[in-house]
Structure 1
Amino acid sequence: MFSLFWVALLSATLLPGGSEIWLARQWCLDQPALALWGVATVGNTLGSLVNVALGRYARRFQDRRWFPASGKQLARAERWYHRAGEASLLLSWLPVIGDPLTVMAGVLRLPWWRALAWILVAKGARYALILSLAQSWLGPYC
């Protein structure tokens, strides 16, 4: 389960990776589903909080020429984020858009505890669904 924690954590950062297969593999090895759910959820949530921290840190460089977003782009992202709201972090589990959402939460200085709450709900629901699917689809094959 230690490996599941690290796979889940790293796959939630800007690094490429996926923890779903590793979770299903661990479940097939007769690890307790509730423990797997908790480890994967905590690891993936912490990985997303790394992205939030990176966004918070990156904001101080917004006036630099090499900063990846112009002032206009940043203002547009802020308007979108304020319109969509912090509840958009419920999509933080999605590939491709999930990581930028968590980075944007950091750039826009969303309070830590609110980012944690939204991300934890999203990641927990995702892993519950994955375990449910693994039990129904993979059960006879494990």
Structure 2
Amino acid sequence: MTELWLMFSAAFLAATLLPGGSEFLLVALLNDNKSFWEALLIMATIGNTLGAITSYYLGYLGRFAISPEEMSKGKYKHGMDLIQRYGYWALLLAWVPIIGDLLCLFAGWMRLAFFPSVLMIFIGKLARYFAIVMLVWYW
């Protein structure tokens, strides 16, 4: 049970704007005991998705602090262009380190529909963790 809570916590924190990764912990826990891979997969995915929702909500609140003109220039331009071009489908890339956190933040800032956004975030993160589990399982 401690392993699952640890996995959830690490995945949650890794999905926020804080630095860190949960993949190494997942691999270590799987190498220790492969029999509960399903529970680890679920906890990692849910924790990481909830962390991304936190970033989405921070972006939603950030709209009060940063003007649209500021967001459409400079360092934010590429992420904003991705969200404007692909909408919530861009959130399938929410699992990508650094970029994914910003995509979630921008999605909230742009007030993309919440449930389709969460669904895309969940699918992307589930696919990433499932790929890691399969690599460990068959390696």
SS at match of 1:61: coil
Residue equivalent to 1:2: 5
Q: What amino acid is the match of 1:70?
A: E
**CA shift for structure 1 position 84:** 2.3
Residue equivalent to 1:81: 83
- Give me the identity figure in percent: 36
**Partner residue of 2:65 out of 61, 65, 69:** 61
Specify every segment of 5 or more residues in structure 1 that has no aligned partner in the other structure, as ranges: 138-142
Alpha-carbon distance between aligned partners in 2 of 1:89 and 1:106, rounded to the nearest angstrom: 11
Q: What amino acid is the match of 1:104?
A: F
Moved over 4 A (4+): 74-80
**CA shift for structure 1 position 82:** 2.1
Specify every segment of 5 or more residues in structure 2 that has no aligned partner in the other structure, as ranges: none
- Count how many residue pairs are aligned between Structure 1 and Structure 2: 133
Larger Rg: 1
Provide the aligned C-alpha RMSD in A: 2.1
TM-score of the two chains, using structure 2 as the length reference: 0.87
**Partner residue of 2:123 out of 96, 121, 124:** 121
TM-score of the two chains, using structure 1 as the length reference: 0.85
Deviations 1:78-132 (A, max 9, x none): 5542212220101110012111100000000012211110000000000000000
